[in-house]
Each structure stands twice: as structure tokens, then as C-alpha cells.
A and B are shown apart, each in its own frame.
Chain A
């Protein structure tokens, strides 16, 4: 069974600074995708970024980028130039070939003005 671990229950960052959220996972599968989702207080789940396991190049979406280390089974999210609207709970998720998603426990990000 796959497991996803987010070791930081809470993180805080100063506005305009950079923060990195950690995620590790465990799997014996070779083909999978990894995702970061954002859940603001409105509770709507919003996809932030995704990474295919076969791609060595790290995914980037504007201010959001990942550091994907397949051998280490690590998938961290870097948020650059943090904004107040980035404050939310962030979930790391693993999705296997059967379409089953496993989520980490989440990291609550606070952005200080």
C-alpha cells in the first residue's frame, strides 16, 4: 500500500519570502503521478501542481515549483514570493495507475504580512 507523509503540520512564511513544504511517499510502483493541492478556508480543493514519475524535469507553475527526487521518494513544494492568498492547507497526493489517490496529512501554511 502506498503511504504519503508530510512531516510539517504547520509552516509559516513572511510575505514575499520563499517556503518549502516537504512530502515523502512510499511505493513499489514505477508509474504514478504526484500532486500538490491547496485547501483554503473555503475548503475547496485546488490543484497546485503535478509531476509524472517518469519525468526527471521538475514541474513549475508560476511561483510554485517542485523538487522531485524519485530515488529518495521525495516531492517537496516550493512557493516563491509568498502572497497572503497562499495561506491554506496544502496536501501532497500520490496517484497510482488504478486512479487511486492517497493523500498526506496536510501542512497548514500561514503567511505573515
Chain B
């Protein structure tokens, strides 16, 4: 009964390729997020969707495109992968956008670009 799941857990690919990471939550939450954690463990928000609408879009290269087909899913597509994209990408969800809501994190996807 995984609350927030991500696929794949590990992804190794070459520079220039296009790849997608999928996220699904079965908690009935309205809000979902993508975070990037780099090699120094810095964790930074990339995007947030509420009821399938984009509400947070940080300064992220436009090679990154999130897509939310429904409230339970938030996918991340990355075009023309670069070495600097290597990181762990976390999906998270929360019941709403308010500051009091706990965020539930997925297990992370470790992306390695060679």
C-alpha cells in the first residue's frame, strides 16, 4: 500500500536522451510536487500542481516539463538530458496547498546521466 510511488527508482541514460519519471499517489491528495536533490543533498522544489493546475514553477530549464493527467498522477519529462541533471528526483503530495499540510514523499528516482 505505497502512498506515493515513483517509477523507475533508478534511471541511467546518456546525454541528449529524453526520459520520463512517473509519480502516483493513492492518498486522495489534491496537490503534488517535484523536488530535485543534487549530489550535495541540496533539496529544491521544481514544480507543484493543485488539482491538475500548475501553481509553482521555479526557475527550471524548459527541458523539464511536468504533466498531470489527473490528481493522482504527476509525471516529469526531461528532454535533451545533460550531465548536470544527474540527481535524485522526489515526488511528493499533500492534501492541499496550505502551509500546515504534511507532505508525503515518494522513494525518489536516482537519475544518472553519462
Contacts and interface: CB of A to CB of B under 8 A. Distances in A.
Interface in B59-73: none
Interface in A1-60: 31-33, 39, 42-45, 47, 50, 52
A99 B56 contact: yes
Given A43-B108, A98-B56, A106 B90 contact: no
B99 A96 contact: yes
- Most chain A beta-carbon contacts within 10 A, residue among B55, B98, B99: B99
B21 interface: no
Contacts of B98: 97, 99
Q: In the complex, which range does the number of interface residues on chain B fall in?
A: 20 to 34
A77 interface: no
Contacts of A106: 41-43
Contacts, number: 56
A99 B90 contact: no
A106 B90 CA distance: 16
Given A99-B94, A100-B48, A103-B43, A50 B56 contact: no
Given A43-B107, A44-B107, A98 B100 contact: no
B52 to A, nearest CB: 15
Given A44-B107, A103-B43, 11 more contacts: A44-B105, A44-B108, A45-B105, A47-B103, A50-B100, A95-B99, A99-B31, A100-B48, A101-B33, A105-B41, A106-B41
30 contacts: A31-B99, A32-B99, A43-B88, A43-B108, A44-B108, A45-B90, A47-B102, A47-B103, A50-B100, A89-B41, A91-B43, A95-B99, A97-B98, A97-B99, A98-B55, A98-B56, A98-B97, A99-B31, A99-B48, A99-B50, A99-B55, A99-B97, A100-B56, A101-B33, A101-B45, A103-B43, A105-B42, A106-B41, A106-B42, A106-B43
